[in-house]
Structure 1
Amino acid sequence: MVNIKDLTFAYDGNKKILDDLSFNIEEGVVYSLLGINGSGKTTLLKCLNGDLPSNIDVTSFSAQMLYIHDEMQFYNYLTGEEFLNVILNFKDVKLDQDMYNELLSELLMNEKIKQTISSYSLGMKHKLILIIAFLLKYKYILMDEPFTSLDVLAADTMIEVVKRYAKNNNTVIISTHMIDIAQEISDKILLLSNGKIQEYDNNFKNTKEIKAIILKG
């Protein structure tokens, strides 16, 4: 478990985007991070990953954490498989061939993995990074709006893959504005509003109940 205590962040001394946030990141849990636009969801993920400096020390867990977002850098001239092998070699991790084959099949990447990344859509890039994250066995995975670039079939598949990964004592935090997906994938919901965070068990009966807490703040 990671204990986040009194996390505060403001851009250039302006109004606090995150104001003394305290919450726990538990193992084996999928969190959905919800909030209106501008509430600080991406800022929070960047602070947790250490991409933005804040008042908390992330060194105890940052090495076990991967942040998946739209601005990740790729070697576009490589194929997906070549890029994956570069990362595994750099990390000195042996490829788990069985897991790799299973992920390629589930995420419909068997053919695409042989193509250059320059031909990939954003959704395929997210799939590639997720495969790498699983193969490297990251304990904590942060995902910023991963479902906006996926079709219905790909989204359903990713939901199942993520839920299964979390069951092995891993943690996934997903920032999303897609309430239906949040209800389906989450064990817990983190609501970010006015610089504060509230945690809810995902016992909501429908998306209207989730929408109500977002609008209430």
Structure 2
Amino acid sequence: MTLKVENLTGGYGPLPVLKNETFDVLNNEIVGLIGLNGAGKSTTIKHIIGLLQPREGEIRIDGIKLQENVEEYRKKIAYVPEIPVLYPELTLKEHIELTIMAYDLDKKSTWNRANKLLKKFRLDNKLEWFPENFSKGMKQKVMIVCAFMRDASLFIIDEPFTGLDPIAVHDLLELVEEKKVNGSSILMSTHILATAQQYADRFILINNGQVKLQGNLKELQRAYKMPDASLDDIYMEMTREVINNG
């Protein structure tokens, strides 16, 4: 087991956003994190990567809590945020070198992986470019390269398809599948439910900071008594319940 979240309660202000969330993401598994805007997906991710501290409960990656070993915990995570975060004064090449240094990676082997990814995402001739020269989609590709050139235990991908062209979406999903086959765990938050249904092994449906339901598609269909439903159908049913219940 890679990621284990137990009874997580937390958030930003005086009132908790997350309430007793419990779920896991196993090795060789892609899990889709699904919910409405404001349901708590991004807050959940921020707790996992250590930007927010739990008020109650705990989070472990490969059995390690952040509080026990900050450096070791963070090395286990590769993160692709919804909004790319790049340093305006650094070139693409320097972003890669910074990532290698920050995670104490082997320079030669990591650059070998990075060069393959740069070519895949058509960035190999832009190593001296600064972020101001990149489109939104290109910035997202830089984040993907910096994450996937690592051999992390857990890959967290937050709304990764925003701004990506169809070829880049295909290339990213190919990378996700490769990491899964090689033993990593992937937690992917996305609103593109057809893609989530095609690639994810299980789903976590979040509403109002709580895990409303989790399981594979068959298990979700049984829970909603919709034997032939797609993930989109189930998502819409959950949405209607949220609206009807105020």
TM-score (norm 1): 0.87
Contact between 1:80 and 1:113, CA under 8 Å: does it hold in 2?
yes
Partner amino acid, structure 1, of 2:169: A
Is 1:109–2:123 an aligned residue pair?
yes
Separation (CA, whole Å) in 2 of partners of 1:183 and 1:95: 37
Is 1:170–2:170 an aligned residue pair?
no
State the partner residue of 2:156.
142
State the partner residue of 2:224.
none
How far is the alpha carbon of 1:41 from its aligned partner? 0.5
How far is the alpha carbon of 1:34 from its aligned partner? 0.6
Partner amino acid, structure 2, of 1:19: K
Q: Choose from 176, 181, 187 the match for 2:195.
A: 181
State the partner residue of 2:81.
69
State the partner residue of 1:51.
51
How far is the alpha carbon of 1:134 from its aligned partner? 2.2
Is 1:79–2:80 an aligned residue pair?
no
Which deviates the most, 52-61 or 180-189?
52-61
Contact between 2:9 and 2:19, CA under 8 Å: does it hold in 1?
yes
Residue by residue, what CA displacement relative to the aligned partner does 1:195-217 show, whole Å, maximum 9, x if unpaired?
A: 22122214586444343454246
Residue by residue, what CA displacement relative to the aligned partner does 1:124-153 show, whole Å, maximum 9, x if unpaired?
A: 222222222222322112122111211222
State the partner residue of 1:211.
235
State the partner residue of 2:62.
none
Residue by residue, what CA displacement relative to the aligned partner does 1:150-174 show, whole Å, maximum 9, x if unpaired?
A: 1222112211111211221111211
Task: Please give the residue correspondences for 1:149-164 in structure 2 after superposition, counting only pairs within 5 Å.
Answer: 149-164=163-178
Give the match's secondary structure for 2:108. Answer: coil
Which deviates the most, 41-50 or 108-117?
108-117
State the partner residue of 1:23.
23
Give the match's secondary structure for 1:113. Answer: coil
Partner amino acid, structure 2, of 1:209: D
Separation (CA, whole Å) in 2 of partners of 1:10 and 1:76: 30
Separation (CA, whole Å) in 2 of partners of 1:48 and 1:4: 8
Contact between 2:88 and 2:130, CA under 8 Å: does it hold in 1?
yes
Higher Cα Rg, which structure = 2
> Runs of 5+ in structure 1 lacking a partner?
none
TM-score (norm 2): 0.77
Is 1:95–2:108 an aligned residue pair?
yes
Separation (CA, whole Å) in 2 of partners of 1:46 and 1:35: 16
User: Compared with structure 1, are the counterparts of its residues 214 and 73 closer, same or farther at alpha carbon in structure 2 (3 Å cutoff)?
Assistant: same
User: Compared with structure 1, are the counterparts of its residues 213 and 4 closer, same or farther at alpha carbon in structure 2 (3 Å cutoff)?
Assistant: farther
> Runs of 5+ in structure 2 lacking a partner?
60-64, 222-228
Contact between 2:75 and 2:103, CA under 8 Å: does it hold in 1?
no
Contact between 1:77 and 1:118, CA under 8 Å: does it hold in 2?
no
Separation (CA, whole Å) in 2 of partners of 1:73 and 1:37: 21
Is 1:127–2:141 an aligned residue pair?
yes
Contact between 1:36 and 1:214, CA under 8 Å: does it hold in 2?
no
Give the match's secondary structure for 1:100. Answer: helix
